[in-house]
Structure 1
Amino acid sequence: MARPTTAVDAVAERYLEVSAALDPCAATESGIAGHDDEITDYSPDGVAARADAARTALRELDAAEPADATDVVTVAAMRERLGVLVDMHDAGLDLGELNVIASPLQTMRDVFDLMATDTEDDWATFGRRLSQIPQRVAGYADALRAGASAGRAPAARQVRRGIQQAGQNANL
């Protein structure tokens, strides 16, 4: 017998939908369809929107009464993960992330490796996502500048390697 949908489930589902729309690259990485022709907005506004979505979900969790043990676990997990997201945002640690392994620089490149390319429609979706790269790179550059202006510039070695990686990506 299927478990009935609870208020906590509704909060989790709503957050998943909002999160996928605000972070299409993560949606693709997680196998969530519907945003495959979009690139995550890494600008200061995009970063703030994701933090706001986490805050909203946390407020909604406050109003949702757990109906069973599954809900208790869901609430605990969501509070922990979303709380970390909000704390990182409030500390400015999610603005202008740059490293050589897992930052927006790599995500904007790697997400294309996860996309289907079997049909003409797949390639059209690929092209729509690819066409957004210039705008999203500009937004990411704004976030890097904002982080540096706030005294949180990436390490010089990370910047040098990031520049090399960006150059390699441009030549693909």
Structure 2
Amino acid sequence: MSNEKSVQPHANVVRLLGLLAKAGALSVEEGPLLSNWKTAPPNGDDLNQVVHIVVHEEGMNISYCLTEGGIAEGNFGDDGSFTCPDIEGDRTLLRMYWLIPFGPEAAERPALDSAIAALSTESISQANARAALVRLRDDIERHDGLLDRQERVPTGDDYNILVERLRAP
């Protein structure tokens, strides 16, 4: 039997890595949207480098490296942001984004698309609601053809129902 104690990663580390796995893009320090970054598995070691991001700006590469210890000290903002010290101790602001494809037919869904667009600055729970709303719109188009027949267009009430379902345990 081993005397070694298993160290679990901090909740912030697990949460941030989970969000990065689902994100379609991210920005660092309000910079350009990025679609590529690297993550490594957490092991509970504060010095373990788990997030590596490279930003190409004005002919330069700016590298950001986040450790488990820095992420553990970080804070999630109400606006969907995450702030923590990088490997050098500098404050680093991350913002994760969903990417939602659209086309010309989007103009035919004003009520639902307006609700989706209203969530452009979203918190994590709003991001989940937004994704659910997009799935609802797509399901309506695929299965019922309701929007084509203009029998019923989803409204803000549909959004409120989805938010309540997402809050339920």
Q: TM-score, normalised by structure 1?
A: 0.23
Which of the two has higher C-alpha Rg? 2
Q: TM-score, normalised by structure 2?
A: 0.23
